[in-house]
């Protein structure tokens, strides 16, 4: 594939650098202090082969606070910042994450029927932002994402969501399979939206506590989750193009749920 080169003017580059500087911290001591202060961190990158007590402490704290980390080559870190990163960079989260337990309990205490969205490894930042915008407008109670393999919730995601990510709770879970089982044990019906289904979205019942699973455009919902969902449904497709953008698909099925739950 031909490599493309884009020109960026000085003011644009300065703006991008300013944004990036707000989104990352680097160096072992600053990251340890951020972790200890329980700052919201999206993920941590650690240089392959880097060792020492401070790196060990960072990994331990990341595990304690369920913050994902990756071991990467030094070139990856150098492309993010040319400064002395000491083999570790942390991406700060643009949002605060919510507690799934608290959200479900709050819904039931208020007499509400929970309506949740589970994103199974949606990696495109703008798709995720657009999905969050639709979910917030529809009154979805929370979006559940995996700790690893989901789009980074950064300034681009917040911008695409039109600010919705500042309002709708996002719950980051280590294991989506276990989370789905937990939701089922909590009385929530799990509906997977996939082209593999036979039934259409209009044939499912959303008038009970519901969580809708949306998969990535590339791989869809993982097989392990599809095997345990309560129901699978699909969106009617009559055109020549075989798929919809995931944020559009989420909007279609969520508003079918809203239609069933309300009398207009």
Please check the confidence at residue 50 and state whether its pLDDT lies above 70. yes
Q: What is the pLDDT of residues 72-121, one digit of tens each?
A: 999 999 999 999 999 999 998 888 889 999 999 999 999 999 999 999 98
Residue 106 CA: distances (Å) to CA of 4, 110, 136, 141, 199: 50, 6, 17, 10, 32
Please check the confidence at residue 17 and state whether its pLDDT lies above 70. no
Dump strand ranges (E) for 83-215.
88-92, 115-120, 142-146, 170-173, 189-193, 210-215
Q: In order of start, what are the domains of the chain with their CATH numbers?
A: 19-92 (3.30.1330.30), 100-261 (3.40.1280.10)
pTM tops 0.85: no
Dihedral (CA of 173, 175, 180, 184) sign: negative
Q: What is the pLDDT of residues 176-208, one digit of tens each?
A: 999 999 999 999 999 999 998 999 999 999 999
What's the pLDDT at 13?
40
What's the pLDDT at 8?
39
What's the pLDDT at 153?
85
Percent over 70 (pLDDT), the chain: 91
Report the C-alpha gap between 88 and 74 in whole angstroms.
9
Residue burial 92-128, b: 16+ Cβ < 10 Å; e: rest: ebbbebbebeebbebbeeeeebbbbbbbbbbebbebb
Q: What is the pLDDT of residues 202-224, one digit of tens each?
A: 999 999 999 999 998 888 999 99
């Amino acid at each position: 594939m031909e490599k493309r080169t884009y020109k960026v003017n000085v003011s644009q580059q300065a703006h991008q650098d300013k944004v990036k500087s707000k989104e990352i911290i680097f160096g072992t001591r600053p990251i340890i202090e951020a972790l200890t202060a329980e700052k919201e961190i999206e993920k941590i990158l650690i240089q392959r082969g880097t060792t020492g007590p401070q790196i060990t402490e960072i990994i331990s704290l990341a595990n304690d606070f369920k913050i994902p980390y990756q071991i990467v080559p030094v070139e990856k870190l150098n492309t993010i910042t040319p400064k002395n990163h000491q083999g570790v960079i942390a991406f700060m989260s643009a949002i605060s994450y919510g507690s799934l337990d608290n959200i479900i309990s709050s819904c039931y205490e208020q007499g509400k029927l929970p309506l949740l969205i589970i994103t199974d490894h949606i990696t495109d930042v703008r798709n995720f932002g657009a999905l969050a915008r639709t979910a917030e407008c529809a009154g979805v109670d929370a979006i559940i994402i995996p700790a690893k393999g989901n789009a980074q919730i950064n300034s681009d995601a917040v911008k695409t969501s039109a600010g919705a990510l500042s309002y709708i709770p996002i719950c980051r879970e280590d294991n989506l399979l276990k989370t789905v089982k937990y939701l089922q044990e909590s009385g929530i019906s799990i509906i997977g939206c996939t082209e593999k289904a036979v039934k259409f979205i209009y044939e499912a019942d959303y008038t009970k506590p519901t969580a809708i699973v949306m998969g990535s455009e590339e791989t869809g919902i993982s097989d392990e989750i599809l095997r345990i969902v309560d129901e699978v449904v699909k969106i009617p497709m009559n055109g020549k193009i075989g798929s919809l953008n995931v944020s559009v698909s989420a909007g279609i099925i969520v508003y079918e749920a809203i239609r069933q739950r309300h009398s207009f």
